[in-house]
Chain A
Amino acid sequence: ATIAAMASRQLSETKLRRRSMSTSYRLPPLPWFGMDIGGTLTKLVYFEPSLDNAEEEREKVAHIRKYLTSNVAYGTTGLRDVYLEMPNVSFLGRSGTLHFIRFPTCSMSIFIDMAKDKNLKDLADMICATGGGAYKFESDFQSRLGMSLLKLDELECLLNGLIFLAERHPLECYYLPEPDPSRSDCVRQPYSLTRQSDCYPFLAVNIGSGVSIIAVRGPRDWNRVSGTSLGGGTFLGLCCLLTGCETFEDAIALAERGDSNKVDKLVMDIYGGDYELFGLRGDLVASSFGHMMSVDKRAEAKPEDLARATLVMLTNNIGSIARMCASTQGIDRVIFTGNFLRCNELSVRLLAHAMDYWSRGSIKALFVQHEGYLGALGSLMELVDPDSINNAYCTSESAQTASDDSQKMSSQNE
């Protein structure tokens, strides 16, 4: 089966499940979580309702809320990204704060213990989850916690999360008007991407451990067009092997200090200058790591340089594949998401520059603030029927449209 076929099959399963849910749910009990269990990181979005207009909060819910909001680190590996926190968000008729928490997927067992400890099971019997781990850990949740996972389509969650944020958060989506990989002070310009605006079509490139590329033509009209296994996992894996660093943050910090020209062979290293016949500038990378077959050059290359070369290679490769897909699909906006871009200003600049340079300005690279949490947020939104979400949060006009689409899908499923 092709990946596209797989995606569409999964999509229709999700729809059916959602329809059956909408009859039994009105508002789900608190606490509200959405999870995205990736190959490397698990992302958790938690909605903290403000208590002013709320009914009496149950004791156990309060316990969990206090635990999550009063800490920044959980256990040895969990972290809350405070800088991404979104206060005053209204969600399912309530206002509150969205919190963004992550931990390595290999610590899932610790998470389950914690959830057990906090008696999460007494509050809800189901968690909305997306990502491959929703399948892998389903039986663990069931057997150890007595909770089931509502498995949701990864890419659909990603897109729902993206649109949700873009509409609510004016600075969510941005671009670099003058991308320059060598300057760390590039201006970020907000980009308006809302359902009301003419936001379709666009290409979503999600860079997690691997990379998924999705062509999005409308709210329910998308398909996975490509992807690559050379993603964030490749960056971290190679950096660990080459430099001995241990975390993504360390790897990025190294890369920011390094000089990839000590590692890569440039066009000018081969041709003495520009490769004029084909209009290739001398300072372009001709061969990533192309200097490293030389013992001497290997001795000269510092860990920083190796990390930088790894980052540049993978980022440019993703940019290159994304650009090819965009032009094949006739799409001129590419939104890059995923945790590879978290605190990774350098890759943002490289991607922005590469898209601009190689497409001669015809394709625009867009980025989002909550790059890694879109899937988790999207899965949180699946707590209830999406039509309710639309009714609650969209202008009446667009809600009408979305609901029509939804009916269309439903009748197709019948």
Chain B
Amino acid sequence: TSEYCSSIAISELSADVLRDLPTAQRFALDIGGSLSKIVYQSKRKWRKTFVVYDENTDSHLYSTQELEKEADCLHFIKFETRLLENCLDFIYDNLKGSDGRGLEILRNSPLRVTGGGAHKYRLAIEAKLGCVVEKEDEMTCLVRGCAFMLKHIPGELFSYEHDSSPPCCFADELSDGGEPFLLVNIGSGVSMLKVENETTFTRIGGTSLGGGTFWGLGSLLAGTSDFDELLEIASQGDHRNVDMLVGDIYGSESASSVHGLSADIIASSFGKASKADCKEFSKPDLLRSLLITVSNNIGQLAFLYASRHQLRRIVFAGFFIRGHLLTMRTLTYGVNFWSQGSVKAYFLRHEGYLGAIGAFVRGLEKDRRIGVLTGSWAENLCTSSSFDVGSWQGMAALELDKRKELTDFPLLRDRLDYVPDTWDLSQDLSAREYWLNCFEASIDRHQQRAVLSQPDSPSATERGEAFRLAYQNFFKEARANPVAFGQLTVRRILDVQEHCLRESGFPDPFWVLKREENEVALDGLQSRLSHLASLPSADLPAALIRGLLGGNVFDWGAGRVAELLAEHGKQFGLNEAMEQLQPRPWLVDDLDAWTSRLKAGVYTCAIVFVDNSGCDLLLGVLPFAIDLLDRGVKVILAANHGPALNDVTIFELRALIRRVGSFVPRVADALSSGRLLLAGTGSSSPCLDLRYVSVEVADACRQEQVDLVVIEGMGRAVHTNLYAKFSCDCLKLAVLKNAWLADRLGGNLFSVICSFEPAAAAAVG
């Protein structure tokens, strides 16, 4: 029989699952009736690249070193509660193994435990681990956990949409610090919490008809008490044999013709089950009816509480849901039916872990160590189990990696309306097919490049294979279940690729290539600048845009371009690239609007999100930036913090601009006078999610009063942000180096997007 919720089996209780235990620092537990979750923080060692430059001795522009670096990681593991003691033994052994330091740290502060089993297992835990157990309130933990997940994990929230396939829609978000919402925790019983913010909530009601009712009554009706089995049996039944429907009372014709009501509406749950009907009822039918009875009732009560407290959004959590489609469907149905759509029901992807992370957060608060959580935490898409709604395989482990603190990009016109991704591959079948095939076909190329990037490492081949397996596994899962990792987008696929590479110890497979390209491009910079200087000033803006677009052709992420580059080698330069561009008028052609805008007056400061290394950055973007500087506009060049494909990183950018400064005095001056700023975006993706940019970028935008945003490249300006609206002028520039993409947007290969969106237009509506 298939399981709805696979957890870690005892045989799997190993260092592969409970990873990094020897460096584990803090633990919290959520002990439920059937499943328990443990969360702990560890120091993980990552291989990381560092850019080193020494102008005097190095024959290269800069060199790159790979070093191991520690970073914080949050581990979440789900296991059956009956394995709790084995799990504690395993933890004890591992902590003891690390010269006892781990145990010492564990005993320094109380172990925070929440969930129904907190009371029951308290003494056992204390005896086993020799630490003090402190019980944490379930609801408080739930609210903290919910706030934590909503803050850190994009696409955490989804709604059940029966007419969509798959039925999970990730589009909406709860704004933090915004409207209060109703959090409905369906455990044994049900609690309804009005949540105002991370720490303020009120229990406004509840019902005793909860998960325990389904479980208990279901056990009585079916004679088995395995919760997952009960759900499985329910999914095979038909409640209409047990429930009395409107059609049964009115006659099926009059129900719809007289009242316009669906004859299928349930008038009386279990109404046919009285002995008067002398019928035998099947277990699947009975359990299905029971599941619907309980879920509908919770949905209705949730609506009643929400409307009484003027709440428009309901988030359902608790063990009862367990990713079970039918449960989510009936809860949503109940809310929709009674609210006529005025109240919306939501669910959480990591719903099972809320209590555990909440207990962890509560512990930090009480120990006055909440600073441990400062920064942003990102889902490790390589090591975390996938989310499988419906069959609910896996999801036994979750890992969150600590990142730099990230925040909203301050120049978005409407943060709540912002959707980073242009296409939703979860719902768009043809787009999904195309991109999954496209990226999967590139696995070998990436594997080779990764292995070649570490010629001195004996384990590189083996790790390259590990990368391939992990990445291939993703494609397998994503095909079977397009919401396995939340909303599927091109950005998501690229993130998975980066995570798999990093996890296999390849922090930057493109570093050699990037350096080569940078060196070649740097050689051409002087003559490019001289050429531009020779142009009549009226022609300059257009030439700069053409140059920038020509530069953007150089992209190893694009298959067709990779072929061209391999074919022609170094012969393929900026001029050759510009010849590939679509002749004007371009697919989106605001060049004239841009040049006249530039004539009309100057900007205070422009932020330019840069893309590829080499020609793109040095011959395309840099001359464009220098021209802005010449016009008296400050410029912030914003580059990724971490490596992604051949995109330039902030560390490489600093080395490059410093070198450029050595022969272009204007650049050196601008840099030293603070008119040219270099900032890391906090990202390591070829795409750009403007809900998560570094504080550095956000602060710089405010301080320098940025009034022009320039986004270049397919990843940042087409796959993401194509429809993003800003509160200031924005220039989006990209060359469509992919036939599918060009076709979707109504163009051809090498079609050009040159979109100038003035703030005034953006402010309308």
- Report which A residues bind B (CB closer than 8 A): 1-3, 5-6, 10, 38-40, 104, 106, 131-133, 135-138, 208-210, 226, 228-234, 236-238, 240-242, 244-247, 263-265, 270-272, 277-278, 284-295, 298, 306, 313, 316-317, 320-321, 324-325, 327-328
Contacts and interface: CB of A to CB of B under 8 A. Distances in A.
A40 B271 contact: yes
Contact of A324 (B211, B227, B308): B308
Contacts of B212: 265, 286-290, 293
Interface in B228-258: 242-244, 246, 248-251, 254-255, 258
Contacts of B215: 289-290, 292-293
A231 B268 contact: yes
B281 interface: yes
B304 A226 contact: yes
Contact of B207 (A133, A231, A246, A317): A317
B531 interface: no
A210 B243 CA distance: 11
B293 A229 contact: yes
Given A132-B246, A277-B137, A287-B188, A292 B217 contact: yes
Interface in B138-171: 139-140
A137 B254 CA distance: 11
B250 A136 contact: yes
Interface in B305-333: 305, 307-308
Given A135-B254, A288-B210, A289-B217, 16 more contacts: A135-B250, A209-B271, A226-B338, A228-B297, A229-B266, A234-B269, A237-B272, A278-B191, A278-B203, A285-B189, A286-B212, A290-B189, A292-B216, A293-B225, A320-B301, A324-B205
A292 B220 contact: yes
Nearest to B267: A210
A285 B258 contact: no
Interface string B209-224: 1111101110111000
Given A238-B273, A265-B212, A290-B188, A321 B340 contact: no
**What 9 pairs across the A-B complex have the smallest Cβ distances?**
A292-B216, A237-B270, A237-B273, A233-B268, A287-B212, A289-B216, A233-B271, A132-B249, A290-B212
Contacts of B116: 270
B270 A313 contact: no
B208 A264 contact: yes
Contact of A272 (B119, B243, B246): B119
Contacts of B258: 10, 135
Nearest to A263: B216
B267 to A, nearest CB: 4
A187 to B, nearest CB: 28
B188 A286 contact: yes
B277 interface: yes
Interface of B: 33, 116, 119, 137, 139-140, 187-189, 191, 203, 205, 207-213, 215-217, 219-221, 225, 227, 242-244, 246, 248-251, 254-255, 258-261, 266-277, 281, 286, 293, 296-297, 300-301, 304-305, 307-308, 338, 340
A345 to B, nearest CB: 21
Contacts of A295: 225
Contacts of B208: 264, 284-288, 290, 313, 316
A302 to B, nearest CB: 13
B189 A240 contact: no
Contact of B270 (A238, A270, A284): A238
B249 A234 contact: no
A135 to B, nearest CB: 4
Given A229-B293, A290-B188, A293-B227, A132 B250 contact: yes
Contact of A229 (B137, B250, B269): B269
A272 B213 CA distance: 20
A136 B251 contact: yes
Contact of A236 (B189, B203, B220, B274): B274
A1 B259 contact: yes
B33, B189, B254: which has the most chain A beta carbons within 10 Å? Answer: B189
A106 B276 contact: yes
A242 B259 contact: no
A245 B250 contact: no
Contacts of A132: 246, 249-251, 255, 267
A77 to B, nearest CB: 9
Contacts of A245: 275
Contacts of B305: 324
11 contacts: A6-B261, A132-B246, A229-B269, A240-B275, A270-B188, A285-B208, A287-B189, A287-B210, A287-B212, A293-B215, A320-B301
B649 to A, nearest CB: 49
B636 to A, nearest CB: 49
A286 B304 CA distance: 19
A43 to B, nearest CB: 14
Contacts of B244: 39-40, 209-210, 233
A278 B304 contact: no
A210 B225 contact: no
Nearest to A137: B251
A328 B301 CA distance: 12
A229 B188 CA distance: 21
A293 B319 CA distance: 15
B225 A39 contact: no
B712 to A, nearest CB: 52
B251 A286 contact: no
Contacts of B137: 277
Contacts of B119: 271-272
Contacts of B304: 226, 321, 324-325, 328
A37 to B, nearest CB: 9
Given A229-B266, A293-B225, A40 B274 contact: yes
B297 A317 contact: yes
A321 B307 contact: no
B571 to A, nearest CB: 72
Contacts of B260: 1, 5-6
A289 B266 contact: no
B254 A136 contact: yes
B286 A241 contact: yes
Contacts of B266: 210, 229
A72 B189 CA distance: 45
A210 B268 contact: yes
A252 B448 CA distance: 76
A104 B215 CA distance: 32
A289 B259 contact: no
A241 B270 contact: yes
Contacts of B293: 229-230, 234
A288 B294 CA distance: 11
A327 B308 contact: yes
A233 B269 contact: yes
B261 A1 contact: yes
Contacts of A264: 208
Residue of B191, B250, B261, B268 with most partner-chain A CB within 10 A = B268
Contact of A293 (B216, B272, B281): B216
A244 B266 CA distance: 24
A210 B267 CA distance: 5
A10 B259 contact: yes
Contacts of A286: 188-189, 208, 212
Given A241-B221, A295-B225, A136 B249 contact: yes
Nearest to A246: B275
Contacts of A234: 268-271, 293
Contacts of B209: 230, 288, 313, 317
Nearest to B289: A237
Which of A40, A208, A233, A294 has the most B CB atoms < 10 Å from its CB? A233
A277 B251 CA distance: 50
A244 to B, nearest CB: 8
Contacts of A209: 244, 249, 267-268, 271
A119 B213 CA distance: 51
A237 to B, nearest CB: 3
B276 A104 contact: yes
Contacts of B301: 320-321, 324
